[in-house]
């Protein structure tokens, strides 16, 4: 879809407004701007500016030059379930640019786009399927049934789960399944495999859609990684392969040599990836409860679970930024450098350990193709207590 196609659709289909999102390095989807259709052409051409404090909480507002959010024409969406009082609202993602006109180093979508362009061959695609676990709270409490698949057809939370899946699908996001998870009031939906950028965008949009639907019915969504010792953790598994006309990770009923090489690269850099994807103290409480992950194989206790033509990375959680996470995984999997002595193989044990891991990786120059500024961002935020449970 091109710019003129979007403008014609907004007018012909009687949309009320255009909502422009941007993604922060915290993994947050932010509504940067809503404009009436009459103003959409100018926004699609030139974007709009925001204070950089909107993407980095350690920055004091008004102290630095504004950054620009420029809509990505290819990301235009309709989300019928999020129309307001019968008024149709269109949605589009924006990328963050600095005042020098270049992609901002803390723009997650820009980071992933650059990694895909730099690392993949011209005919390759990084294909990703994301799983999303969450709890539903009723007046702040977990009231649903406990146990995998244990739910009654007439349970209001069952109806909420089904409505949520319908809403996500109506937004053009394919879902392979939705079901009750092990914990009390815990559920999961699994998004169909897509190219990495679309998959990361879909992950955040599906999250927003599910929260919107829950709010309409008086519920709230809780995606905290660690929910207390009596509840299973919320973990988001990342299923991935690389395709070049065929699935290069598939061989027979298992995985290919290329997949094993990719998996070993991820394992060698697992500590760095984990430090980037597990950004809160709560994250490490969840990892501790899950137990000690090992290596790569078909067990559920591996860091990477191998399935038919797919690798499933299992140590990320709800605090991750999906775009930066996928960029880090791709950089690690295609890394030509093997870290001597397995220095970055074992995940940090706690929040402070994640700071040390990121500092060490930056000093060693092992940034997985990600901008140095992203490592500095996480180090600075954590040293300022952002992400630490109070």
What pLDDT shows up at residue 149? 85
Is residue 338 scored above 70 in pLDDT?
no
What pLDDT shows up at residue 390? 46
* Bridge partners of residue 377, in order along the sequence: none
- CATH number of 3-103: 3.10.20.70, 3.40.50.150, 3.90.1300.10, 3.40.50.720? 3.10.20.70
d(CA 297, CA 313): 11
Give the single-character DSSP code of 280: S
DSSP H stretches of helix in the chain: 3-12, 40-46, 108-119, 156-170, 196-216, 257-268, 270-277, 281-290, 322-333, 351-364, 372-383
Could you tell me the residue ranges of all domains in the chain? 3-103, 117-383
d(CA 266, CA 297): 13
- Length of the chain as a residue count: 390
pLDDT band at 189 (very low <50, low <70, confident <90, very high): very high
What pLDDT shows up at residue 295? 83
What pLDDT shows up at residue 298? 86
For helices 372-383 and 351-364, angle between their N-to-C axes, nearest 10 degrees = 150
What pLDDT shows up at residue 341? 65
CATH 3.30.590.10 for domain 117-383: yes
Selection from 270, 251, 378 nearest residue 314 by Cα? 270
d(CA 171, CA 164): 11
State pLDDT tens for residues 1-26.
899 999 999 999 999 999 999 999 99
Which of 226-230, 239-243, 372-376 bottoms out in mean pLDDT, i.e. has the lowest? Answer: 226-230
- Residue 56 CB-half CA count within 13 A: 27
d(CA 229, CA 231): 6
What pLDDT shows up at residue 227? 86
Contacts made by residues 385-389, CB under 8 angstroms, sequence distance 24+ = 386/57, 386/58, 387/279, 387/280, 387/281, 387/319, 387/351, 388/280, 388/281, 388/351, 389/280, 389/281, 389/282
pLDDT band at 336 (very low <50, low <70, confident <90, very high): low
pLDDT band at 42 (very low <50, low <70, confident <90, very high): very high
Mean pLDDT of the chain: 92
Give SS3 for 47: coil
pLDDT band at 143 (very low <50, low <70, confident <90, very high): confident
171-195 core/surface letters (b: 16 or more CB in 10 A; e: else)? bebebeebebbebbbbbbbbbebbe
d(CA 247, CA 264): 18
* Bridge partners of residue 71, in order along the sequence: 94
Chain-centroid distance of CA 275 in Å reads 15
Rounded to an integer, the average pLDDT of 330-337 is 85
**What are the phi and psi torsion angles at 59 (to 5°)?**
-90, 135
State pLDDT tens for residues 257-272.
999 999 999 999 999 9
What pLDDT shows up at residue 145? 79
Is residue 229 scored above 90 in pLDDT?
no
d(CA 238, CA 314): 7
What pLDDT shows up at residue 207? 95
d(CA 206, CA 236): 13
**8 Å CB contact between 311 and 263:** yes
d(CA 295, CA 313): 11
Selection from 4, 95, 16, 25 nearest residue 327 by Cα? 25
Neighbours of 378 (CB within 10 A): 24
Selection from 239, 263, 256 nearest residue 334 by Cα? 263
State the SS3 of 92-150. EEEEEECCCCCECCCCHHHHHHHHHHHHCCCCCEEEEEEEEEEEEEECCECCCCCCCCC
Q: How much is the pTM?
A: 0.95
């Amino acid at each position: 879809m091109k710019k003129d196609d979007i403008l014609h659709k907004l007018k012909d289909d009687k949309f009320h407004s255009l909502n422009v999102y941007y993604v922060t390095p915290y993994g947050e989807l932010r509504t940067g701007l809503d404009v009436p259709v009459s103003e959409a052409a100018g926004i699609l051409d030139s974007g709009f500016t925001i204070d950089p404090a909107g993407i980095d909480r350690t920055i004091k507002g008004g102290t630095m030059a504004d950054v620009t959010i420029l809509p990505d024409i290819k990301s235009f969406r309709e989300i019928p379930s999020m129309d307001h009082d019968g008024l149709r609202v269109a949605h589009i993602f924006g990328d963050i640019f600095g005042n020098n006109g270049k992609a901002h180093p803390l723009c997650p979508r820009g980071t992933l786009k650059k990694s895909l362009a730099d690392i993949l061959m011209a005919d390759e695609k990084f294909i990703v399927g994301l799983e999303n676990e969450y709890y539903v709270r009723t007046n702040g409490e977990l009231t649903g049934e406990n146990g995998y698949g244990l739910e009654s057809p007439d349970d209001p939370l069952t109806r909420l789960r089904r409505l949520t899946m319908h809403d996500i699908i109506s937004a053009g996001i394919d879902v392979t399944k939705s079901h009750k998870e092990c914990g009390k009031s815990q559920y999961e939906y699994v998004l169909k495999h897509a190219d990495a950028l679309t998959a990361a965008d879909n992950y955040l949009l599906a999250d927003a859609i599910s929260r919107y639907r829950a709010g309409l019915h008086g519920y709230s969504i809780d995606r905290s990684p660690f929910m207390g010792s009596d509840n299973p953790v919320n973990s988001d598994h990342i299923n991935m392969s690389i395709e070049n006309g065929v699935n290069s990770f598939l061989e027979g009923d298992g995985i290919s040599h290329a997949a094993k090489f990719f998996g070993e690269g991820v394992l060698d850099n697992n500590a760095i990836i984990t430090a980037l994807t597990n950004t809160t103290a709560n994250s490490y409480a969840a990892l501790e409860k899950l137990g000690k992950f090992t290596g790569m194989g078909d067990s559920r206790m591996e860091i990477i679970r191998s399935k038919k033509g797919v690798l499933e990375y299992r140590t990320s959680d709800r605090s991750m930024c999906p775009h930066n996470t996928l960029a880090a995984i791709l950089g690690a999997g295609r890394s030509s450098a093997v870290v001597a002595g397995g220095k970055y193989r074992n995940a940090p044990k706690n929040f402070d350990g994640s700071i040390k891991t990121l500092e060490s990786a930056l000093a060693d120059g092992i940034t997985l193709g990600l901008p140095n500024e992203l490592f500095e961002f996480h180090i600075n935020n954590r040293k300022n207590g952002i992400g630490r449970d109070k």
